[in-house]
Amino acid sequence: VDDATITTNVDDAVGRATSVFAHWRSVPAPRRGEVVRHLGDELRRHKDALADLVQIEVGKIRSEALGEVQEMIDICDFAVGLSRQLHGLTISSERPGHRLAETWQPLGPVGVISAFNFPVAVWSWNAALALICGDTVVWKPSDATPLCSLATTVLARRAAITAGFSADVCQLVFGDASIGRALASDHRVPLISATGSTRMGRLVAPIVAERFGRSILELGGNNAAIVAPSADLDLVVRGVTFAAAGTAGQRCTSLRRLIVHSSRVDEVVDRIGRAYTQLRVGNPMSSDTLVGPLIDEKAGRAMTAAIEQAVAEGGRLVVGGERCLADAAPDAAYMRPAIVTMPRQTEIVRTETFAPILYVMSYETMDEA
């Protein structure tokens, strides 16, 4: 790790990314793709080690951690192919002997702000595409996952050097929310891609818009599923359990609201409840663990508070919701995935809680659902 790999100074990181962009944008796209190809090779070589860091810092179980790194490898493969397909349109002109050609131009340094729950994959989705398009990348990761981001950046910078280019095409800047605000407000960064909560998005979007920058926001998702009377309940139980309890409910794609036809709701709740009791909560390093810890104590308290509010709003806690392994791991927030039946879509049901809580409601007609 060299000094240029780590900084807490946004101005320095953006400055280096801006300087190298002047050359990087002129490199042929297939040559830029070589950097991403080498990055994919580095990720293949270090897949297990990087997955270890994801487990240590986030608490994902082994299959999920390996799956996240595999997503990085997959996007690298996709981007390498895309580097030879950056087509522009050729358009007929009304002028004799003339044709119009469309050429896509790189934007400049691209800012990537990522959340803790996918500490490496989100960066790769953005960075692999930005790099082949001729943009440099400045990454502000979650302050909860510094090791994951540092290891990833070391691999990316190594890939750039192996391909014969400056390592400065990839920049990493550590810090709290103030660092994210500084990156979002920097006029040298024409595009900010930010992943996180809707609250974060409401803060970032106006800052970028005020300077007429562009933003890509991947925010929370209070996702719902509808179970029809004709549904295959074996499929429902498997799908809902994974979607709601996987990654300890800490995905923007996690299932949080289950809307079941009244003729099937009791059976669905009973079967999913029994499936939940079989979920082993514990050390994510253990091969038989299915649910690891929440990211921190604050997340555990938020889960408890949400369940209490749900009960106050007329809900019934069916299963789970309690803290476990408190004696063995007092500093970790191990929580049992919870199912709460609700009489209607109340305030707490409409609020995304980043934890494994599944609210179940019933319906009579599809329009109502």
Backbone angles phi, psi at 187, to 5 degrees: -65, -15
Kindly give the pairing relationship between strand 191-195 and strand 99-101.
unpaired
Residue 328 burial by Cβ neighbours in a 10 Å radius (0-12, 13-18, 19+):
exposed
Backbone angles phi, psi at 196, to 5 degrees: 170, -155
Report the 10 Å Cβ neighbour count for 220.
20
CA dihedral 307, 310, 314, 319 (to 10 degrees): -30
Residues 308 and 302: their CA atoms lie apart, in Å, by 10
Q: Strands of 170-172's sheet, edge to edge?
A: 170-172, 137-140, 110-113, 191-195, 214-218
DSSP codes of every residue in 5-36 = G-BS-HHHHHHHHHHHHHHHTTS-HHHHHHHH
- Which of 288, 286, 290, 263 is closest to 275 using CA atoms? 290
H/E segment holding residue 67: helix 62-82
The catalytic residue among 34, 42, 57, 218 is 218
The catalytic residue among 252, 308, 322, 364 is 252
Q: Is residue 252 annotated as a catalytic residue, yes or no?
A: yes
Angle between helices 10-24 and 177-185 (to 10 degrees): 40
Angle, CA 236 vertex, CA 235 and CA 242 arms, to 5°: 95
Q: Is residue 218 annotated as a catalytic residue, yes or no?
A: yes
Contact between 339 and 269 (Cβ < 8 Å):
yes
- Which of 174, 178, 115 is closest to 142 using CA atoms? 115
Q: Residue 103 — left, alpha, or beta (φ > 0 → left; ψ -120 to 50 → alpha)?
A: beta
Q: Which residue has the tokens 């818009």?
A: 209
Report the 10 Å Cβ neighbour count for 96.
5
Q: So which residues are the catalytic ones?
A: 218, 252
